[in-house]
């Protein structure tokens, strides 16, 4: 998970400097805060469309951010399922029904 977060941070910085993110309302380059917002929304696979990349690197970066988001979501869900399974196993060994 830490590796994915580090990769997310690197891709976010790359997006700011090389991705050419712009706001769709006025077509001005996005400040760093808007770029972080765009990358977070992309990684969460929401994608509002109010900030878009304008370079080929930015589009590839966006694709990678989406994949990272799917992987992080999967890891969080897997950890939650494992926690529930372990709690059920402990309850079962104490003789308590599920």
Q: By percentage, how much of the chain surpasses pLDDT 90?
A: 65
Residue tagged 């494992």 (tokens) = 82
Measure the CA–CA gap between 39 and 25, rounded to whole angstroms.
18
Helices and strands of the chain, counted as H and E runs: 3, 2
> For 24-67, what is each residue's pLDDT tens digit?
888 888 899 999 999 999 999 888 888 899 999 999 999 999 99
Q: Determine whether 72 is exposed, middle or buried from the number of CB atoms within 10 Å of its CB (0-12, 13-18, 19+).
A: middle
3-state secondary structure of 29: strand
pLDDT of residue 98: 55
Question: What DSSP character marks residue 49?
Answer: S
Q: Which of 72, 67, 73, 61 is nearest to 11 (CA)?
A: 61
């Amino acid at each position: 998970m830490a590796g994915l977060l580090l990769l997310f941070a690197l891709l976010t910085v790359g997006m700011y400097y090389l991705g050419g993110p712009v706001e769709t309302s006025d077509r001005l380059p996005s400040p760093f805060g808007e770029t972080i917002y765009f990358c977070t929304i992309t990684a969460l696979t929401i994608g509002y469309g109010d900030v878009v990349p304008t370079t080929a690197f930015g589009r590839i970066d966006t694709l990678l951010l989406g994949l990272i988001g799917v992987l992080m979501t999967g890891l969080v869900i897997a950890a939650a399922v494992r926690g529930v399974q372990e709690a059920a196993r402990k309850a079962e060994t104490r003789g308590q029904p599920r």
